[in-house]
Structure 1
Amino acid sequence: MTEQSIPSESHDADVSPEIITDLRRLVDDAGITTDRRLIERILATGLGLGLDGTGRLDLKIASTALEEMRSAFRLFARYRGLPKVTVFGSARTKEDDELYRITSNVSAALARNGWLVVTGAGPGIMRAAAEGAGPEHSIGISIRLPFEQPNAVLDHDVNLVTMKYFFTRKLMLVKESHGFVCVPGGFGTLDELFELLTLQQTGKSVPVPIVLLDRPGGTFWAGLKRFADEQLVPSGVISPGDLDRVLITDSEDAAAAEITGFWRNYDSLRWVGDRLVLRLKNTPSDEEIAGLNERFADLAGSHGIRRTEPLRAEVHDGDELELPRLVLHLDAHHVGRLHELIRAINELPSAPAR
C-alpha cells in the first residue's frame, strides 16, 4: 500500500487522488495523529456515499448511526479497562416480581466484585439491574420509544446514552461486555439472546459467559432448552452442544459465580494466522497440558495444545506480552467448544484460587 492510497477495504477507489490528498490535509489540520488511516477511510466512505447518489433516507441512517456510535464510544471510554456485564430482560417486569429482586441481587454482587452493569436503561429488569449495581457501577444504552423513558437511576450527563436505532444500541450492549445475564422476557430479550448465541456459535465473538437466570423453580429457560433438544437439534439446524456454553440456573450465587469464574485463569485470546493463542493468568504445568491434550484431542488437531512465548505478531503489537499463553491449531468446525476448553483451563490446579 502506497502512502497515497486509502486502504482497499474502504471500496472507494472512485475517490480521486486529489481528493485523497485533501482528506489527508484535513486530518492534519484537525490534529489527528492516531489511527489516521482509519479516519481517512471513514471520510472516504462518506464521500463515496455521495458519489454513489445514495438516497436521502439512507444517508440519514448512515449519519445518525455514526453519530450514535461516537456518543456511545465516548461514554464507554470513561470505563476502559473495567469488566462489564450486560443484563437483558423485560421492561414489563414489576418491582414486586421475584425476578426483579433476583436481578437486583445478582447485579449488586457483581458490582461488589468490581464489575460495571450495562443495561438498556429502561424500566423493569433494566431498572432492577441498575438499582442493584448502583449508579456508580451502571451504564445505560437507552432507545427512543414513545412509551418508554430511561429509568431515574441513570444520568444522561454521566452514564447514559440514548439511541434511535436498535441495531446501534444492540452493538453497544454486546461489544464491550465480558459476560451476559438474561432474565425471562419477550421478543426483545429473546432477540438479544439469539444474537449472542449466533455470535458465539459462528465464532464472530470471543467466548464469554452467558447466564440464563430464572426465578426459583422457574421453567422459562428450561422450556427453551427443551425446544432446542426436541426440535432444533433433531432437525439439524443447530449442533447438540450449542447450548452447552450457556448456564441455565435459578441461583443468584451460581449466576454471579459463572460470570466472574469464567475469567478465573483465562484472560483473552488472539488469532495469528491459523493459530489460536490463549492468554492466561497462571502457567499450566506439563502434566496439566498433557491432560488438556488428551481431553481435547479432537479440538487441537495433530499439533496439540502447547505452551508458547508471545508470537511475532503479538510482540509487534505489544499485546499482553507479560501473560503466559497456550497455542493450538484450532479446527474451525469446533470453535463452539472453546467454552469447554476455557472452563477446563479455569479448573486446573495451577489456576488462581477462587
Structure 2
Amino acid sequence: MTEPPQRSIHHRGPVQLRREQIQAGTTDQRLLDSRGPSDWVHTDPWRVLRIQSEFVEGFGLLAELPKAVSVFGSARVARDDPEYATGVALGAALAAAGFAVITGGGPGVMEAVNRGTSEAGGVSVGLGIELPFEQSLNDWVDLGVNFRYFFARKTMFVKYAQAFVIMPGGFGTLDETFEALTLVQTQKVTRFPVILFGTAYWGGLIDWLRTTVTPSGKIGASDLDLIHLTDDIDDAVGRILDAESSRSPQAVAEAAAGEEIAETNDGQ
C-alpha cells in the first residue's frame, strides 16, 4: 500500500488544516492586524458566538424567575376581541395562583396575557423575536429580551415554564404547540401540562388527531392524553396546580438541595 505523501499540517485551535486550507499568519494576528472588510461578522463561526450570547442572556435574565407558565396565542387579535379579554383574565388568574407568565411579548393575545399578569401584580415576561417586519415588546412586559434565533427563544419558553397554555393562534402557535407535545411525548420534559384553550377553535384539531392520526398508527392513543382541552380558566389553572403538586419526591429533594446550596453560597 502506498503511503500518503507527507503534507504540512497547521492547527488552528481544535481545527486541523492541510494543503490549500492553510492560511498565512495566526488567528491572533488576523484579529489584531486586520482593518479590512467586515464580512467576517456574518460568517457561521461568528454566528455561533451570537447564538451562545443569546443563551447566556436568556439564562441570566430568567434564572431568578419564580415558577412560570408560558402562554401562546395569535398576535392578530384586536383589543376589542373577546379573546383579548380572555387573555387578560387568564394572565390575572395565573398571577393570582403565584405564577409568572411568559409570552412571546408581541401584540394580540400575548399583550392581553402580559397585561392581565402585570395588572394583577404578577411577573410579566416577554421573549421577543427579530422579524422582517417591526414588532417591539408590548407595553405590559415587565421583564423582556429580544432574540435573533427561534431555537434559543424556544428553549427559554420550555426551560423556565411548568406548563403551556395555548390560546387560538396561527403557524407560530401551532409550531410551539407541537414542539411542546413532542418534548412531553419523548419525556424530554416531565409533569408538563399542555393545555389548549378554546374548544371551538381547537376541537377540529383534536378530532383529526383522534380519527386520522391515531388510527393510522402515527401516534398512540395514550398520546392524546398529553393534551387537555378546555374553555374554563379555573380548570386550566387547576390542572397546572395539580401537576405542580404531583412532583416526585426526588424532584422536591433536588429543589431543596439546590436552595440549600444557594443559601450556603450566599453566606460565604
Identity of aligned residues (%): 37
Contact 1:119–1:140 (Cα < 8 Å) also in 2: yes
Give yes or no for contact 1:140–1:161 (8 Å, CA) kept in 2. yes
2:184 counterpart of 1:181: no
CA drift of 1:254 comes to: 0.8
**How far apart are residue 320 of structure 1 and its match?**
8.8
CA distance in 2, matches of 1:209, 1:107: 17
Query: 2:191·2:243 contact (CA, 8 Å) conserved in 1?
Result: no
Give structure 2 stretches of 5+ with no counterpart.
Answer: 1-10, 22-39, 261-268
Superposition pairs of residues 19-168 of structure 1, within 5 angstroms:
47-48=13-14, 57-79=43-65, 82-134=66-118, 136-145=122-131, 146-155=133-142, 159-168=143-152
1:200 aligns to what SS in structure 2? helix
Alpha-carbon distance in 2 for matches of 1:97, 1:243: 30
Residue of structure 1 equivalent to 2:264: none
Q: Is the 8 A contact 2:168 2:202 kept in 1?
A: yes
Q: SS at the partner of 2:175?
A: helix
Does residue 257 in structure 1 map to residue 238 in structure 2?
Answer: yes
Question: Closer, same or farther in 2 for the Cα pair 1:114/1:318, shift >3 Å?
Answer: closer
Distance 1:203 1:193 in 2: 15
> What stretches of structure 1 of length at least 5 have no aligned partner?
1-15, 20-46, 269-277, 282-309, 322-354
Q: Do the aligned residues in 1 keep the contact of 2:78 with 2:84 (CA within 8 Å)?
A: yes
| Equivalent position to 2:247, from 250, 267, 276 | 267
CA shift, 1:280, in A, is 7.7
| 1:244-298 Cα shifts (integer Å, max 9, x gaps) | 122100111111111122223x224xxxxxxxxx5487xxxxxxxxxxxxxxxxx
1:148 counterpart letter in structure 2: Q
Identify which of structures 1 and 2 has the higher relative contact order when contacts are C-alpha pairs closer than 8 Å and 6+ apart: 2
The C-alpha deviation readout for 1:128-174, integer Å capped at 9, x for no partner, is 1100100751111111122322111125xxx1111111111111111
2:16 and 2:141 map into 1 onto residues whose CA distance is: 42
Q: Secondary structure at the match of 1:267?
A: coil
**Where does structure 1 differ by over 4 angstroms across 4 or more consecutive aligned residues?**
50-53, 317-321
Paired letter, 2:46 = K
Determine helix, strand or coil for the equivalent of 2:234: helix
Q: What residue identity is the alignment partner of 1:152?
A: D
Report the CA distance between 1:203 and its aligned residue: 1.0
Q: Which structure shows the higher helix fraction?
A: 2
Aligned pair in 2 of structure 1 residues 280, 144: CA closer, same or farther (>3 Å)?
closer
* Residue 205, structure 1, aligned to residue 186, structure 2: no
Q: Structure 1 residue 228 and structure 2 residue 209: aligned?
A: yes
Structure 2 contact 168–201 (Cα < 8 Å) conserved? yes
Q: TM-score, normalised by structure 2?
A: 0.76
CA contact (8 A) 2:191 2:247 kept: no
Aligned-residue CA RMSD (Å) = 2.6
Instruction: Name the CA distance, whole Å, in 2 between partners of 1:124 and 1:105.
Output: 14
The answer (yes or no) to whether the contact 2:68–2:160 under 8 Å persists in 1 is yes
Which amino acid is 1:84 matched to? A
Cα distance, 1:319 vs. partner? 6.7
SS state at 2:56 partner = helix
The structural deviation recorded for 1:51 is 5.5
Query: Post-superposition shift, 1:69?
Result: 0.9
Greater Rg, structure 1 or structure 2?
Answer: 2
